[in-house]
Amino acid sequence: MSEQFASFEIRLVDHLKGKGLFATRAFREGDVILEELPFISCQFSWNKDYKYLSCDHCMRPLETAEQNVRRLAAEPAIILPHPQCCTTSLQNITQCENCDTKYCSNNCREIAYNLYHRTLCHSSNDTAHPLEQLVEAWKQVHFPPETATIMLIIRILAMIHQSSEPDITCTKLNQFCHRTVNEDAQLVHKLLGDQFIGNLEMLREMAAQVISGTHVNQYLTEKGFSSLMALIGTNGQGIGTSPMAQWVNNVSRLNLPAAEKNKLDLYIDKLYDDIEKEAGSFLNTEGSGIYSLQSICNHSCIPNAEPSFPYGNHCLQLKAVTDIKPGDEILISYLDECMLTRSKHSRQKELASNYLFTCNCARCASESGDPDVTSCEEMSEDGEEIEDMSD
């Protein structure tokens, strides 16, 4: 059985991988394969606390590129050239009528309210509110750099709770990867880490104080909550938005004289240097989302596609990074660029730890004769392995 779309189809790969996404037409390198909005998304809690201002629904930045650069570089006198290249509009910013939650537009405010916010609406100044208590507890067990957020779970539960057809919403949720109870436990342990895994029951009880009801209670049992935690840990796609990055991208496309372009490039390089000195490497508004089609894509250490966020919000675009023929499986990397450069052993260790599978892609198969050592490992004088602690 397969599910057909305009340019691709979903079909069973095998009993281990489950479903996969397959091209039904040719794609050239750079072609857009698909675009989709998330089932749910959310900004990371620490990221929000660090004043990365964004729409509470779609994560579109709520500051101009100039405001963004001034804040990150801690230099209020910066004036960016070519202001027309900034894509942020501050004119349509609005907020919930009942609380101070901000949105980039009335459209996002209405979507959020009708989808989940009506259930969760409260003043952020009410520090005793169960949701504020839960977010603070989560932050203490999941420090930056963040990879997940408890708010994805809460918004999922709120979606179910206020849906006019909760059974359908649950069915959509259940389409995402499901594992055994033991596998869920392993994934949750990895997500929280050794020192915080004992807090899982506390998080579950606090989540139940935020929201409960006929259709959500199945997800607030020990098994149900662990399953949701594992789901956001393995299916969550990182989202990053930045008014500065959008401005830099647009400026780079300007038709400028060579001397002026070189001067502008030097100026941008200095901006990044100044920001790194003040803010480090955390430049973007960051969060996570769960995507129905993207989550079906299987992993390869030589991917032929990659996700990006070209519109400066949570709309995901999957683009071909190599030519793809009809019938080819569309494959992405679950590893970041740095990890992809490492040895087969390092990559497989990471995938086994975070996703509970052994990669058998063409690259791993071609490296089957490589020694099972982590990248940059050295041998001691007596022949024993010395592990690279940075891996």
How far apart CA 146 and CA 47 sit, in angstroms, is: 8
Residue 376 has pLDDT above 80, yes or no: no
Tokens coding 378: 């050295």
Give the range among 25-39, 140-154, 174-188, 198-212 with minimum mean pLDDT: 174-188
**The predicted structure's pLDDT at residue 236:** 95
Give the pLDDT confidence of 305-321 residue by residue, as tens digits: 999 999 999 999 999 99
How far apart CA 202 and CA 129 sit, in angstroms, is: 16
Residue that wins the pLDDT comparison between 314 and 15: 314
Amino acid at 240: G
How far apart CA 186 and CA 208 sit, in angstroms, is: 23
Average pLDDT on 179-203 reads 92
How far apart CA 21 and CA 17 sit, in angstroms, is: 11
Residue 367 has pLDDT above 60, yes or no: yes
Report the share of the chain in percent with pLDDT over 70: 95
| 123 φψ region: left (φ > 0), alpha (ψ -120 to 50), beta (else) | beta
Tokens coding 210: 């935020």
Tokens coding 350: 């990471």
**The predicted structure's pLDDT at residue 374:** 67
Nearest to 44 by CA among 232, 188, 302: 232
**Confidence bin at 383 (pLDDT 50/70/90):** very low
Q: What are phi and psi of 304, to 5 degrees?
A: -110, 5
Residue 377 has pLDDT above 60, yes or no: no
Give the range among 87-96, 330-339, 377-386 with minimum mean pLDDT: 377-386
**Confidence bin at 232 (pLDDT 50/70/90):** very high
Nearest to 133 by CA among 150, 117, 146: 150
Residue 390 has pLDDT above 50, yes or no: no
**The predicted structure's pLDDT at residue 155:** 98
**The predicted structure's pLDDT at residue 110:** 98
Query: CA angle at residue 333 from 319 to 249, to 5 degrees?
Result: 45
Give the range among 78-82, 316-320, 336-340 with minimum mean pLDDT: 336-340
Strands (DSSP E) contained in the chain are 2-4, 8-14, 18-23, 32-36, 40-43, 94-95, 102-103, 237-241, 285-290, 298-299, 305-308, 316-320, 331-332, 378-379, 385-386
Give the pLDDT confidence of 252-276 residue by residue, as tens digits: 999 999 999 999 999 999 999 999 9
DSSP per residue, 100-156: --EESSHHHHHHHIIIIIHHH---TT-TTSHHHHHHHHHHTTSPSSP---HHHHHHH
How far apart CA 238 and CA 229 sit, in angstroms, is: 16
